[in-house]
A and B are shown apart, each in its own frame.
Chain A
Amino acid sequence: MRKPEEQFMELEKEIRRKLENHLPAIEKSLMEMDDLSPPEEMARQFLLEIIKGNGEEAADLLSLKMLHERMSMGELVSSIGHVLKQMHLEREVMDEIQKLASVYLAVLSERMFHHFLRAVSSITGMSEKLLRNFARLNLEEKLSIDRKDEQYAGG
């Protein structure tokens, strides 16, 4: 079975192949954009680095910037949407860029999760294992409430 990283790289290659002829124009368009709000500017830089092939490094850097600016993932996703809309791309090209961005948004989410885990662990002194244990207990409690709700609904 292939490792997730290999599948991930293959997916990126495939998207890049499809976008090959459009990449220079997309890069130019992203570089020429102005009058953006600060979150949109962060989204633009992120997209630009992804197009240039520096997605992983950009995700690393952006995760720190987002923590510093207290920016949420929702805000970033919405800003990416705004930037893409302003580029007036063909539907198919737009879809492929969104796919490429999703790949690196997943990397970014993972980085953010680790920053949070490390921060909470460092400030509270709770081990990462204990924090994961809290999440598991909370999930189990939620599942148990859902099951009870289903029972009531069914009964």
Chain B
Amino acid sequence: MNSTATGEKLRHVLRSIMDETGVEGMIVFTMDGFPVASEIRATGEMLEELFSAIGAGLASLAENTLKNIGMLPLSRLTIESPRGNILLEKANQEIGIMALAGPSIPLGIMRVAIQKASTEIDRILGREQT
């Protein structure tokens, strides 16, 4: 499968998870900060590259903090604001997923959205372990 088809497939998956859960943005990125796929409804502008770099930075900082106090691995990172929440998880060693949602979406739903995306990413990128 070529990279455009894979990217489109990933975006389709993200769109359907967002429709199902009410999450307003999902970004899949490499830990070097490069975008893999994204759907962001919360902002008019496409900020895929910036969110990918910030997501990778946040995940690295969080992991390094946990490493320094012997609390690895990182399960997830939550950023809460009165205007919404951001949840970040690593799908595997190389890939991170970030979900953005308004305050009315419970964090539990955001976790489900990320877990679904993680499973689909593994399947689409051929990393599913049997």
The answer to whether A130 and B64 have CB atoms under 8 Å apart is no
The answer to whether B61 and A130 have CB atoms under 8 Å apart is no
- Chain B contact residues, majority secondary structure: helix
Contact with B along A111-144 (1 / 0, CB 8 A): 0000000000001111101100110010000000
Contacts of A134 in B (CB 8 A): 33, 53, 57
Contacts of B57 in A (CB 8 A): 124, 126, 130, 134
The answer to whether B50 and A126 have CB atoms under 8 Å apart is no
Contact of B34 among A123, A125, A133 (CB under 8 A): A133
How many angstroms from the CA of A68 to the CA of B1 in the assembled complex? 52
**A127 and B34 in contact, given A137-B49, A137-B50 (Cβ under 8 angstroms):** no
17 inter-chain pairs at a CB distance below 8 angstroms, sorted by A residue, are A123-B64, A124-B60, A124-B61, A124-B64, A125-B60, A125-B61, A126-B60, A126-B61, A127-B31, A127-B32, A129-B33, A130-B32, A130-B53, A130-B57, A133-B34, A133-B56, A134-B53
